[in-house]
Amino acid sequence: MVSSRKLSNEEVEALIEGLSNSSGAADGVFMDGDTSGVRPFTFGSDDLSLLGDYYALRMINERFSRFARSVFLPMLRVQPRISSFPPEVKTFDEYSAASENFVSLTNSRMEELRGNQLLVLPPNFISLLTNSYYGGTAVRPLKRVQGEFTATEQRVIEIVTSGLNEALQMAWRDLTPVTFSIQGREENMQFASFVDGSETVIICSFVVQLPKTEPATFDIIYPLQTLKPIASQLRSRVQSDYIDDDLSWRQRLERAILNIPLTLTGRLSEPTTALHNLIHLQSGDSFPMQLHEGVQVLVEGRLMFSAEMGQVGPQAALHLTRRIQETED
């Protein structure tokens, strides 16, 4: 059994004196201005070290950026450039304090992960989308009353959020299948029934760049508790076995393939002769040749077409007459 006793008066006085001396020493450090050992730190800001760098989440955001172009293209009538920022970790209170109160908030359920996700769209971006969608220009937003969205803007919000949720599902499918179903919408950050203010969230920010106008941004927010069950997968750097069905990527690949230079050869004949005849050949000698019926056209050494000799202007030319099947080699 551990015994306990009270401190004597002398011991208490010695303890107080020691605390006073250490306090004075500490005060002296700051009074002298020596802050070389002090380093500023912002809790939660841009720091994913507690749970890894979420490499897979960064890849998901990049894929989502590509898929999201098809959502905005019909509205803006121009191909937007969408980029993703590195994820940030903050409390929801910190995020709310740094955001406007009047925004579009769409709360969606992530069924498979048993959690929610929040899509935050700024009002100026919604106004710009609405103006362009209904026939205006995608350069400047509409003028409207601050603090509420019009009926047309609410319709645009529905179209955009549904499209972005579909893009998110495609972006997530390689890591884990996730279904996003809209639970509700709000127009004021103070009334967002998403998570408790002290709860940690992961903010994924995106920027939409358009010609002749200011860039627009929007955010997708995940509660940290929602993503914790798949934290190991989010830290994984294993590439997906799926090929992204990205139309623009496929078009660039197609253009690159179609621009590969190929060598075409017109073969008139393939005569044979003895070696001693080649040794004694001299300038002015004639070499007998038996021409094929037409000219054989080879692509990179492979027989592909039959053609006829001709002329286009001052240059000789080949007129293709038929394609030769592989079995005819």
Q: Residues 297-321: pLDDT tens digits?
A: 888 888 888 888 887 878 888 888 8
Question: Could you tell me if 198 and 235 lie in one domain?
Answer: yes
Residue 211 lies in a domain: yes
Q: Residues 92-115: pLDDT tens digits?
A: 889 988 888 889 999 999 988 888
Q: Helix, strand, coil % (nearest 5) of the chain?
A: 35, 25, 40
E strand segments, 92-224: 102-110, 115-121, 180-188, 200-209, 216-223
Question: Could you tell me if 239 and 265 lie in one domain?
Answer: no
| pLDDT reading at 204 higher than 90 | yes
Question: Could you tell me if 225 and 325 lie in one domain?
Answer: no
Residue 200 lies in a domain: yes
Question: Could you tell me if 238 and 265 lie in one domain?
Answer: no
Domain end point (choices 200, 230, 255): 255
- Percentage of the residues of the chain whose pLDDT score is greater than 70: 76
Amino acid symbol at 69: R
Residue 323 lies in a domain: yes
- Rounded Cα distance between 64 and 163, Å, is 11
Question: Could you tell me if 69 and 210 lie in one domain?
Answer: yes
Question: Could you tell me if 207 and 296 lie in one domain?
Answer: no
Phi-psi category of 294—alpha, beta or left, where left has phi over 0 and alpha has psi -120 to 50? left
Q: Give me the domain span that covers residue 214.
A: 55-255
Cβ within 8 Å of residue 45, ≥6 positions away:
88, 89, 90
Q: Which pLDDT does position 244 carry in this prediction?
A: 47
Cβ within 8 Å of residue 22, ≥6 positions away:
none
Question: Could you tell me if 222 and 92 lie in one domain?
Answer: yes
Q: Which pLDDT does position 39 carry in this prediction?
A: 56
Q: Which pLDDT does position 157 carry in this prediction?
A: 93
Distances (CA, A) of 309 to 124, 270, 271, 295, 329: 66, 17, 19, 7, 21
Residue 11 lies in a domain: no
Residue 10 lies in a domain: no
Cβ within 8 Å of residue 316, ≥6 positions away:
309, 310
Q: Which pLDDT does position 24 carry in this prediction?
A: 47
- Rounded Cα distance between 204 and 222, Å, is 8
Residue 93 lies in a domain: yes
Residue 29 lies in a domain: no
**CATH number of the CATH domain containing 327:** 2.30.330.10
- Rounded Cα distance between 114 and 116, Å, is 7
Which whole number is the average pLDDT over 33-44? 56
Q: Residues 255-302: pLDDT tens digits?
A: 888 888 888 888 888 777 788 888 888 888 877 777 767 888 888 888
Question: Could you tell me if 104 and 84 lie in one domain?
Answer: yes
Q: Which of 50-64, 113-127, 137-151 has the highest mean pLDDT?
A: 113-127
| pLDDT reading at 22 higher than 60 | no
Which whole number is the average pLDDT over 180-199? 86
| pLDDT reading at 329 higher than 60 | no
- Rounded Cα distance between 167 and 178, Å, is 11
Question: Could you tell me if 248 and 298 lie in one domain?
Answer: no
| pLDDT reading at 33 higher than 70 | no
Question: Could you tell me if 244 and 265 lie in one domain?
Answer: no
Q: Which pLDDT does position 26 carry in this prediction?
A: 44
Task: Point out which residues pair with 307 in neighbouring strands.
Answer: 295, 320
**CATH number of the CATH domain containing 213:** 3.40.1550.10
Domain end point (choices 196, 230, 255): 255
Which whole number is the average pLDDT over 105-130? 91
Question: Could you tell me if 244 and 125 lie in one domain?
Answer: yes
Q: Which long-range contacts (CB under 8 A, 24 or more apart) does 123-127 make?
A: 123/149, 124/216, 125/208, 125/216, 125/217, 125/218, 126/153, 126/156, 126/157, 126/160, 127/153
| pLDDT reading at 172 higher than 80 | yes
Q: Which pLDDT does position 48 carry in this prediction?
A: 52
Q: Is residue 113 classed exposed, middle or buried when 0-12, 13-18 and 19+ CB atoms within 10 A define those classes?
A: buried
DSSP codes, 202-268 = EEEEEEEE-TTS--EEEEEEEEHHHHGGGHHHHH--PPPSSPP--HHHHHHHHHHHHT----EEEE-
Question: Could you tell me if 70 and 118 lie in one domain?
Answer: yes
Domain end point (choices 229, 255, 281): 255
Q: What is the number of structural domains in the chain?
A: 2
Please indicate whether residue 8 or residue 84 has the higher confidence score (pLDDT): 84
Q: Is residue 101 classed exposed, middle or buried when 0-12, 13-18 and 19+ CB atoms within 10 A define those classes?
A: exposed
Residue 279 lies in a domain: no
| pLDDT reading at 243 higher than 50 | no
